[in-house]
Amino acid sequence: MTQTITLPDRAGLGLKPEHYRDALAAPADGLWFEVHPENYMVDGGPRLAWLDAIAARFALSLHGVGLSLGGPERPDPDHLARLKVLVDRYNPASVSEHVAWSRLGNTYFADLLPPPPTRKTLHRLAEHIAQTQDALGRRILVENPALYLSLTGDISMIELYVEAAKMAGAGLLFDLNNIYVCAHNLGTGTKDWLAAVPAAEVGEIHLAGFTVQDRDGERVLIDSHGAPVSDPVWALYRDFIREAGPKPTLIERDENIPAFAELVGEAAQANAILDDYLKEARHG
Amino acid sequence: MAKNGDDFYANFAKVLDGTDAARMQPWLEDEKHLTRFAVHQGNYRMTTSKAMQGIYKAVFRLVGDEYFMGLMTQFLHDYPPQSSSLTHYGADFPAFLRNFSPVQKDLPWLAPVAQLDWAWFCAYGAKNTPALDASDLLDVAPELLPGRTPGLHTSCTLLRFSVPAYSIWRTNREDKNVGSISMKKGREWACVWRQDMTIRHASLNQAEYAFLDAIGGGRILAEAWTDARLHEQNFNLSKQFARWLNAGIFMGDNND
């Protein structure tokens, strides 16, 4: 498996079509971009042309949402083939997917659904990650899920995430908003996640904002990527970087898309935390 | 309900399609979480609806948010996404609208407008194939031109309607203030294609439609001209060929 470039240990941004011009004009300066490859699975046209231009200037990460790694069926070979076309075209610095399922039979459910946390799922998930890596000819990262449901199982969701990646030889994409959302929604703590995730295996961090829904009088946090990164998630990030050291860090925003400058401001906030770590490290 | 292996996925899928979440109780540690399946139902519906709003822009503007979401609920049930990339979803929407009785009765122009939205979306993502250029014809003797089969560019869709769908679509796609279109305008013909990276569209008359339709069917220019003249005796082949050549609507010489 070959991989010639890596993401810089700096902040990157999720790339939205409304920001193509701004993104292309932004100073490179360690900035990188992440896209959902599913949005670029087209034969040609302006969208691919924009991504070609962006990828020529910045490191690129392909963050998939459609492989259904946590599902009962092996990853869809047609989808894998389309992903491989993009991987070959861009040789991205990172390729990642989710510990989630979204497909059953011929239906794609367009959501990141929680798999049952069982040993059977663990083995199947590891197999699906390995099949993906074999098909793409490279190592991938897998992301921890945002959870709204307490599911029964013979292992924990944390174990499913960490162990499946380990068994498949994959890396981890650690989403700190997701652990905050999980901790609130399931009444657990974020500490369990922070203690169990091996920092050395984390190849990328995701930061995002959540929105709140009321479900029968209960406050449920939704991983909507529809708001700025929240203060508690910034605090988790500072703590994690202090322990793990600098990591490529993505600011995600998929809803209520603000001006590009606002996202650049959030990226600067993440970079300031990364810089603080480096300053502290230099001064012992 | 007994808890059994992969039934988890099948039952979850049924809940996403609108079945009562109670069937998932065996897999929940906390019964109170049954109401939270609505989060996933909502995500599924919203993600697909937003993808479709991005494709069917004129339809969305015409019917509004609430009606569009209502259409999507039924469409999602009848035509759930099959590809894990939503860039491949929605091709069946015009047919769905054509056969959906409330739309058939009250909004007969909606399905044709949806066809135009889909044609625009297909042109946007079509393969980057070169169009026929005047320079490709430098070595072609003028008398041989009528015998050529230029074909239509891969991004091109020709459409014909029994209602003024193109006029309705155009104003809803492009105008800040939507113009009033009389149904008395009657039949319309149109084409949508991509020239380099720009999506283009044009209103056609029946003769132009017949001409381009014949070319799209792989017929030689002389035959296409004959078809056009059935509708317009004075159809000018040289002028029309030059017009569409400049518009990049013909397939390039180097394409298979």
pLDDT score at A4: 59
**Assigned domain for A1 exists:** no
> Which tokens belong to B234?
């004075």
What is the DSSP code string of B173-231? Answer: HH-SSPPP--GGG--EEEEEEEETTEEEEEEE-HHHHHHHHHHHTT--HHHHHHHHHTT
CB within 8 Å: B125 and A45: yes
Q: Which helix (H) or strand (E) holds A103?
A: strand A101-104
pLDDT tens, position by position, B120-144: 999 999 999 999 999 999 888 989 9
Domain identity same for B223 and B150:
yes
pLDDT score at A222: 94
Does residue A99 sit in helix, strand or coil? Answer: coil
**Assigned domain for B187 exists:** yes
pLDDT score at A62: 98
Closest CB from B3, B32, B43 relative to A111: B43
Q: Which among A109, A125, A181, A257 is the top mutation candidate for probing chain B, defined by the most B β-carbons within 10 Å of its own β-carbon?
A: A109
Closest CB from A44, A68, A215 relative to B84: A68
- The whole-model pTM stands at 0.94
> Residue A155 maps to which CATH number?
3.20.20.150
Domain identity same for B103 and B131:
no
Domain identity same for B144 and B220:
yes
**Assigned domain for A151 exists:** yes
Minimal C-alpha gap between B84 and chain A (Å): 5
Determine the length of chain B.
256
CB within 8 Å: A149 and B37: yes
CB within 8 Å: B84 and A103: yes
CB within 8 Å: B39 and A38: no
Q: Look-up: residue for tokens 């993009």? A: A86
**Assigned domain for B120 exists:** no
pLDDT score at B256: 44
For residues B239 and B132, give the distance between their C-alpha atoms in angstroms, rounded to a whole number: 16
Domain identity same for B256 and B134:
yes
Interface contact A273, partner B, CB < 8 A: no
pLDDT score at B4: 58
Closest CB from A44, A151, A220 relative to B128: A44
pLDDT tens, position by position, A36-65: 999 999 999 999 999 999 999 999 999 999
For residues B94-119, average pLDDT: 95
Write the CB contacts of B58 (distance below 8 Å, at least 6 apart in sequence). Answer: B113, B114, B116, B117, B168, B169, B172, B173
CB within 8 Å: A116 and B48: no
Q: What is the chain A residue with the closest CA to B196?
A: A45
Chain A hits for B85, CB-CB cut-off 8 Å, are 38-39, 41, 66, 79, 82
Instruction: Among B72, B107, B142, give the residue marking a domain's end.
Output: B107
Q: A with B: how many residue pairs have Cβ under 8 Å apart?
A: 120
Domain identity same for B13 and B101:
yes
Write the CB contacts of A252 (distance below 8 Å, at least 6 apart in sequence). Answer: A14, A34, A177, A206, A207, A208, A225
Domain identity same for B134 and B246:
yes
Of chain B, the percentage scoring pLDDT greater than 70 comes to 96
Domain identity same for B100 and B132:
no
pLDDT score at A109: 97
CB interface of A with B, residues 55-84, below 8 Å:
65-68, 71-72, 76, 78-79, 82
Chain A hits for B86, CB-CB cut-off 8 Å, are 38, 110
**Assigned domain for A3 exists:** no
CB within 8 Å: A151 and B44: no
Domains of chain A: total: 1
Task: Give the pLDDT band (50/70/90) at residue B252.
Answer: confident
Please say whether the beta carbons of B217 and B192 come within 8 A: no
Q: What is the ipTM for the molecules in this complex? A: 0.94
Q: Residue type at B127?
A: K
pLDDT score at A215: 83
pLDDT score at A21: 97
Q: What is the chain A residue with the closest CA to B120?
A: A45
For residues B67-82, average pLDDT: 95
For residues B192-203, average pLDDT: 97
Task: Give the pLDDT band (50/70/90) at residue B3.
Answer: low
Domains of chain B: total: 2
CB within 8 Å: B29 and A152: yes
Q: What is the chain B residue with the closest CA to A254?
A: B47
Whole domain around residue A278: which residue ranges? Answer: 11-282
For residues A230 and A207, give the distance between their C-alpha atoms in angstroms, rounded to a whole number: 9
Whole domain around residue B52: which residue ranges? Answer: 1-107
Please say whether the beta carbons of B85 and A82 come within 8 A: yes
Extended beta strands in B31-187, E state: 157-161
Q: Which helix (H) or strand (E) holds B115?
A: helix B110-124
Q: What is the pLDDT along chain A (284 residues), one digit of tens a residue?
A: 445 578 999 999 999 999 999 999 999 889 999 999 999 999 999 999 999 999 999 999 999 999 999 999 999 999 999 999 999 999 999 999 999 999 999 999 999 999 999 999 999 999 999 999 999 999 999 999 999 999 999 999 999 999 999 999 999 999 999 999 999 999 998 999 999 999 999 999 999 999 999 888 889 999 999 999 999 999 999 999 999 999 999 999 999 999 999 999 999 999 999 999 999 988 87
**Assigned domain for B112 exists:** no
CB within 8 Å: A152 and B82: no
**Assigned domain for B160 exists:** yes
Minimal C-alpha gap between A37 and chain B (Å): 8
**Assigned domain for A17 exists:** yes
Minimal C-alpha gap between A32 and chain B (Å): 23
CB within 8 Å: A78 and B83: yes
Of chain B, the percentage scoring pLDDT greater than 90 comes to 86
User: Lowest-pLDDT range, A110-124, A130-144, B46-60, B174-188?
Assistant: B174-188
**Assigned domain for A192 exists:** yes
pLDDT tens, position by position, B11-36: 999 999 999 999 999 999 999 899 99
**Assigned domain for B115 exists:** no
CB within 8 Å: B86 and A111: no
Closest CB from A45, A185, A220 relative to B124: A45
Query: B162: how many CB neighbours lie within 10 A of its CB?
Result: 11
Q: What is the chain A residue with the closest CA to B80?
A: A107
Closest CB from B28, B47, B87 relative to A149: B28
Does residue A101 sit in helix, strand or coil? Answer: strand
